[in-house]
Amino acid sequence: MTTILQIDSSARRDGSTTRALTDRISARLGGAVTRRDLAAPLPQIDEAWVGANFTPEADRSEAQKAALALSDTLIAEIEAADVLVIGVPIYNFGVPAALKLWIDQVARAGRTFRYTEAGPVGLLTGKRAVLAVASGGTALGSEIDFATGYMRHVLGFIGITDVEVVEAGRQMVDADAAQAKADAGIEALGRAAA
């Protein structure tokens, strides 16, 4: 059975477009769904976290292991998933701070990517991601959309290159058109392989 990791990053629990879209996308794809709600923000990485991450695993103290425990859990959620369904509301032209905190926890040298002489190599390969991107006025894919391209880049950096976008952009300009585009995007998604 396909395993889906659904990540919701909207600050709004009620009335959120991206939360409604991620629910619909997960249902469309089918499979077992694990949910990660970022409305209660994750902690920022700090000096202790960075120091722990750059200490070889065999040499980490108990405090260093504790500093990385949440990151280990979040990465394990990705590792266990076949498909990531990520809600990406555009706040002030970029991703919400809550989503950036998640990215900082999971983009980890030696765990989800490594550097080689040829450049960085993502370690979380063989996965698919579907982004549910919504905005009030930002045209998706435009020069002021700093969220969609960023998410594609970050996911590719950790090895997830099969990325699709379901978009509901410019809702405050034309809500009906935004909804129709999102509906068509969900309809076009193929079901996850069983």
**Residues within the annotated binding site for FMN?**
10
Q: Which of 91, 85, 87 is nearest to 146 (CA)?
A: 91
Q: Which residue do the tokens 């700090």 mark?
A: 46
**To which H or E segment does residue 82 belong?**
none
Q: Which residues participate in the annotated binding site?
A: 10
Give 10's contacts (C-beta < 8 A, 6+ positions apart).
16, 17, 18, 19, 39, 87, 89, 96
Q: Rounded distance, CA 133 to CA 178, Å?
A: 11
3-state secondary structure of 128: strand
Please tell me the distance from the alpha carbon of residue 78 to that of residue 73, in angstroms, as a whole number: 9
Under a CB-based contact definition with an 8 Å cutoff, are residues 1 and 194 in contact?
yes
